[in-house]
Amino acid sequence: MSKNTLLQVKGLKVAYGGIQAVKGIDFEVNEGELVSLIGANGAGKTTTLKAVTGIQPVGAGDILYLGKPIRGQGAWDLVKQGLVMVPEGRGTFTRMTITENLQMGAFVRSDREIDADIDKVFGIFPRLKERRNQLAGTMSGGEQQMLAMGRALMARPKVLLLDEPSMGLSPIMVDKIFEVVETIHKQGVTMLLVEQNASRALALADRGYVMDSGEITMGGDAKVLLNDPKVRAAYLGE
């Protein structure tokens, strides 16, 4: 493992009852990288993120975070250590305001810089600032996605895992979400991005992995993957 590898997954297997959803995969995320994990519906991408973040029990394999094994640790402990996921479907607190949701994101922290960090999040998402007193449940899908990302940033992630942030959004909102992913990446946050929008996800990423039926079938430089004829045929509709 190179010294700046923040997350390393080796031989990860996850099953739901008798069904193997993840069949022994290896991947890594290095400090400062944006890594995209692409693949069709049902390939096992969400299951992989859930297993890494302690939400889904692991059948076999090792997960090293900051060089230490974390398999079996709970999601809460991992968030405290900076391994933070923005789930598919977002999971904002709908009866709380935007500001309250952001404060909840900092729940794991004991420092006093929370208001300053809320201002930073508002800098990335001006829309959230405009609506800071609005109840999260009354916001559009795209705004809720922004809020979920902002809330995750409030935990000061060392590795941020995003599960399909563009799913179900209008084209304009999809553009905005990918812009924000790029901004957060440029600010130095290490990210693992799961996406079905393969072309956008690979265009932004440093490296990528392709997942198919529970296995990682390809991996490497994101631009090389983006130009690979097999990837273009299977995931870019060519």
Name the site residues for ligand ATP (rule: CB under 6 A).
16, 19, 21, 39, 41-47, 196
Min dist. Cβ of residue 15 to ligand ATP (A) = 9
Q: Which is nearer to ligand ATP, 21 or 222 (CB)?
A: 21
Q: Which is nearer to ligand ATP, 44 or 208 (CB)?
A: 44
- What does each C-alpha distance from 218 to 38, 57, 104, 186 come to in angstroms? 10, 25, 38, 26
Min dist. Cβ of residue 19 to ligand ATP (A) = 6
Q: Which is nearer to ligand ATP, 44 or 54 (CB)?
A: 44
Min dist. Cβ of residue 123 to ligand ATP (A) = 31
Min dist. Cβ of residue 183 to ligand ATP (A) = 24
Min dist. Cβ of residue 196 to ligand ATP (A) = 6
Q: Which is nearer to ligand ATP, 60 or 135 (CB)?
A: 60
Min dist. Cβ of residue 16 to ligand ATP (A) = 3
Q: Which is nearer to ligand ATP, 189 or 198 (CB)?
A: 198
Contacts 24+ apart (CB under 8 A), 64-72: 64/1, 64/5, 64/7, 64/8, 64/9, 64/10, 65/6, 65/7, 65/159, 66/6, 66/158, 67/1, 67/5
Q: Which is nearer to ligand ATP, 36 or 47 (CB)?
A: 47
